[in-house]
Structure 1
């Protein structure tokens, strides 16, 4: 219970009033700015959408025009459509050849519903989704026929129709266009091409104009008739003239009336125009949603300010502040604290409990540190002991086969000397557990000398290491097991070992050292990579991954779970094993990390 004259109450009132004024002003300014940005953004989005839609429709129409020209200028069609054949057999052959040509063009395009050719002699050739078409016998009296008949070879665009213009069996919607055909050599009309496409592409393109769910999109011709729209009730009907007022003044236009926002853009391929109409009531929804959002945030911030003011006022107490200050020291890891305070009985009990808690935590932390250090050292010793026999077994096996090969027997001395260096390096753990990258590279050179001898010299080994990285400290014997694994499980199984190669790349990024061991062996599929990676965390692995498990476990034990091995592989392309460790500039830094 706060007293009216108490310091806590006065601080609460002052803090609450200041916060309330500040929050109200900030919320009002942000709301006004947001409303202006919403209006500007909606207009910009609408203009950008109509521009993109017009460009997409133009691109689509250019493709349709190319399709029509490919039919009209096809040599086989040109030669046979304009030819009047009296022989029934030859006429049948001509019809079949024209139909086959139409079929080839039909299957080279997507979304074609049907292609029709009407010759000057009245013959009709077609190929479409249906095996056969029921041609309208009165096509010559239809308006569409008369329109294209009166042209001089330019494209005629009819737009989306609720059914086919020619095939009485086709009742689905189609996008129709065509042109008059001329004999290329004699420049005389020989017929016309009519193409009916599925309207999905052009409808989807026009629909991209929508800003809200209630937006309407139309493509209209010069007379204002909607030739393309998803609204089937207004298809091929004239729009309200008020929508068109002022639209002809600009290729792209944004206008508003009392109820709607209208955007329009002219098409370049034809005299059509794209129009998008969005109710203003839908645009207000976003502003109303923003207004509700800011009101809710204002209420929540006021409540939060009240709670914060009450909390701050209640925290003004010297004994509590002192306890909190000492607790923060404990949070930072300082456990050598003994708080002495004389205050109220309740505070004294609280302080005594705090002191006992810190002492117990300090004892537990010390116990855990001792146990963890012992376990870590034991695991490191066990893993280090596991690596030497594993590598020695594989190397002696290679030497056994070299003894039986007369051609390689002269090189056995070099192999034995390299093995001696390697065994001395890998067995000497007493003097140094940490080495430099240069030492690991020399160890790897000795190993690859043995492998290169076994492969008859068919092994390409390259290194890309910056000079400043050669003296970087790292755990001993982590590079050679990775290279050994690449040789045994990657390069040894190649059908053509003459192209076997291993590359080592070293890079440093943001305090982390990355050592990539790259081979062009047989690689692994994704399932194998996942199985090996899973064995890192499960603590088990098959023979293929035991060396990798050892190295990964040593790195994780020394530096933590964020470090270790990362594997990428692709069947037939090879494998990349990346060693990830902290970047240290001196042995002292690395040894401090390993024992902390």
Structure 2
């Protein structure tokens, strides 16, 4: 591309519109996306760590409850009564001295009771002071009598903790034939405190309970760990009593590299255990990165869409101008046999039609007297000025609005913007009927002005449109006067907040029904009768009255569709007013669509 072509491209309105649109939209989008992605990434990471810490705290409380539960179950020895009316310790002491053959049956009944109080108990032992023992187990397993039970160290621990519940680190229950389960064993001495001073009675036996790892699995399975996240239950010597990594159970805990893991620890209140959680950083970042990548793809699609829309909008806006420019060059050279193709009904369409009319008339003027030609040209130029004035008015209002926004008076800016949209809708040249979607947009702009004027505490609006009614046609400015009437005569006199509900629905017989309801002060039967009479009468609109807007809409509907259509009004004092408009159902025609685009 040579320098002259580049210069023309830079000076073209298409290039200016395209680059302006992209810069105004793209730079804020990129900046906002960058800030949002960084903020969201940090938030996700903090949320994951905090959530993991909360789950660890909850698990720590449940482990405390687990220890308390088995502590209470071991104390059943002191409340278990026999058929002689004695407690277990007293009965065992007496039967041991007397050599009662029912001792085995008494202990067996007690062990069965304890075993089935908890589903995670796998086996229960009762060991007598002379080394004899009895055991009850689930799953009908067979005890290996070659095994010396309990270990000597277990007995020494119970001797040191006469009155307390003791635990023995996780181990394999290989004292049962063919069994290789990991269990944690709790133990407690049974003291005969009936005839002993204080609570330092004679030890008449020891109870041992094997608890499966399922008791801990039930607590930690709710934490939804990633594949490399690990939780541990450690004793005071850092021995691993339980871990989500089963291979590490029974070993001494070694802390992992802090650069790869977030490490959190919670101490238990009822036992000298601690819960340690290690959250793998890379998996956390990877999960966060997947979400961020998804968001980045969406942002990228938005950027591409923005560029495409910018090019399409700029081309669509500049193409008619370039066409007019080319035809103007022909006219300038003296060729009056040219016409501009009119494709839209907006200001550019008005300009194109005006140009075509100007060319036709200019050609006829050449054949007329010079003075008449000049007069006609002045008339044509005045016509063009009148067509351009609405556009000048919109631009002026936009300048005022931007000045208000620059002075931080956003409310005034919003009001001017809403007013600008309304003026454009009212002053726009075009068809008598428009799509319901356009009428709805105009009502929203009008209601925004009323809301800014009277406050959100006073007014609210509710749209209820059924089906595909937004594309249906209706007379332009047919709903807004009804809404205005509802605000000033229904809601404003009311104390407190009022609501206007607009409903659009298709009726049988190919009809469209639009209803405007308000919960304002309503009308008496006499006032309602007078309003209905005004609608049906032929009185002049200049006569005034609160229902002039309703009369105007009613007359337009009758003129367009016939006397079978129009407005129906119902009202109840202190309840509200309902205005119902029924017209034939129809779509917006092609010329109207071109105009409204």
**TM-score after normalising by structure 2:** 0.50
Question: 2-side partners of 1:83 and 1:302: how far apart?
Answer: 89
> Cα distance, 1:23 vs. partner?
1.4
Question: 1-side partners of 2:218 and 2:47: how far apart?
Answer: 23
> Cα distance, 1:193 vs. partner?
0.8
Change (3 A) 1:371 1:48: closer
| Alignment pair present for 1:42 and 2:48 | yes
Check conservation: 1:207, 1:217, Cα contact below 8 A: no
> Cα distance, 1:332 vs. partner?
1.2
Q: CA RMSD in A?
A: 4.0
> Cα distance, 1:85 vs. partner?
4.0
| Alignment pair present for 1:160 and 2:166 | no
1:236 to 230, 242, 250: 250
Check conservation: 1:222, 1:272, Cα contact below 8 A: yes
Check conservation: 1:159, 1:177, Cα contact below 8 A: no
1:315-326 equivalence runs, <5 A? 315-316=316-317, 319-322=343-346
| Alignment pair present for 1:332 and 2:333 | no
Structure 2 unaligned blocks of 5 or more: 1-5, 83-87, 321-341, 350-424, 440-471, 475-505, 512-570, 585-597
Question: 2-side partners of 1:227 and 1:320: how far apart?
Answer: 80
Check conservation: 2:233, 2:273, Cα contact below 8 A: yes
Q: Which moved more, 1:113-122 or 1:128-137?
A: 128-137
Change (3 A) 1:12 1:592: closer
Change (3 A) 1:17 1:181: same
Partner secondary structure for residue 161 of structure 1: strand
> Cα distance, 1:328 vs. partner?
11
Question: 2-side partners of 1:84 and 1:358: how far apart?
Answer: 101
Partner secondary structure for residue 114 of structure 1: strand
Question: 2-side partners of 1:118 and 1:593: how far apart?
Answer: 93
Check conservation: 2:158, 2:188, Cα contact below 8 A: yes
Q: Which residue of 2 aligns with 1:293?
A: 294
Q: Which residue of 1 aligns with 2:160?
A: 150
Question: 1-side partners of 2:245 and 2:56: how far apart?
Answer: 18
Q: Report how many residues are paired.
A: 345
| Alignment pair present for 1:78 and 2:89 | yes
Check conservation: 1:178, 1:192, Cα contact below 8 A: yes
> Cα distance, 1:78 vs. partner?
1.6
> Cα distance, 1:21 vs. partner?
1.2
Partner secondary structure for residue 171 of structure 1: coil
Change (3 A) 1:22 1:372: closer
Q: Which residue of 2 aligns with 1:262?
A: 263
> Cα distance, 1:194 vs. partner?
0.7
1:193-212 CA-partner distances (Å, limit 9, x unpaired): 11122321312323545653
Q: Which residue of 1 aligns with 2:202?
A: 188
> Cα distance, 1:11 vs. partner?
0.8
> Cα distance, 1:75 vs. partner?
3.6
Change (3 A) 1:37 1:230: closer
> Cα distance, 1:84 vs. partner?
4.8
> Cα distance, 1:586 vs. partner?
9.2
2:509 to 346, 368, 371: 371
1:134 to 128, 143, 152: 143
> Cα distance, 1:290 vs. partner?
4.4
Partner secondary structure for residue 226 of structure 2: coil
> Cα distance, 1:106 vs. partner?
2.9
Q: Which residue of 2 aligns with 1:277?
A: 278
Q: Which residue of 2 aligns with 1:65?
A: 71
> Cα distance, 1:49 vs. partner?
2.0
1:393-420 CA-partner distances (Å, limit 9, x unpaired): xxxxxxxxxxxxxxxxxxxxxxxxxxxx
1:464-479 equivalence runs, <5 A? none
> Cα distance, 1:157 vs. partner?
1.8
**TM-score after normalising by structure 1:** 0.50
Q: Which residue of 2 aligns with 1:99?
A: 108
Question: 2-side partners of 1:86 and 1:288: how far apart?
Answer: 73
Question: 1-side partners of 2:98 and 2:107: how far apart?
Answer: 16
> Cα distance, 1:370 vs. partner?
7.0
Change (3 A) 1:57 1:334: closer
Q: Which moved more, 1:39-48 or 1:224-233?
A: 39-48
1:111 to 111, 116, 120: 120
Change (3 A) 1:223 1:9: same
Change (3 A) 1:7 1:150: same
Question: 2-side partners of 1:127 and 1:150: how far apart?
Answer: 26
Partner secondary structure for residue 113 of structure 1: strand
Change (3 A) 1:371 1:294: closer
> Cα distance, 1:593 vs. partner?
9.7
1:400-479 equivalence runs, <5 A? none
Partner secondary structure for residue 162 of structure 2: coil
Partner secondary structure for residue 320 of structure 1: coil
> Cα distance, 1:81 vs. partner?
2.8
Change (3 A) 1:141 1:61: closer
> Cα distance, 1:294 vs. partner?
4.2
> Cα distance, 1:312 vs. partner?
2.2
Partner secondary structure for residue 238 of structure 2: coil
Q: Which moved more, 1:177-186 or 1:125-134?
A: 125-134
Check conservation: 1:206, 1:229, Cα contact below 8 A: no
Change (3 A) 1:36 1:67: same
Partner secondary structure for residue 31 of structure 2: helix
Change (3 A) 1:584 1:65: farther
1:267-319 CA-partner distances (Å, limit 9, x unpaired): 11211111111222122213433442343233212101112212322443685
Question: 2-side partners of 1:22 and 1:169: how far apart?
Answer: 70
Partner secondary structure for residue 130 of structure 1: helix
Partner secondary structure for residue 268 of structure 1: coil
Check conservation: 1:82, 1:120, Cα contact below 8 A: no
Change (3 A) 1:35 1:196: same
> Cα distance, 1:145 vs. partner?
3.5
1:325-362 CA-partner distances (Å, limit 9, x unpaired): 86895321899xxxxxxxxxxxxxxxxxxxxx989xxx
1:214 to 216, 225, 228: 228
> Cα distance, 1:590 vs. partner?
7.9
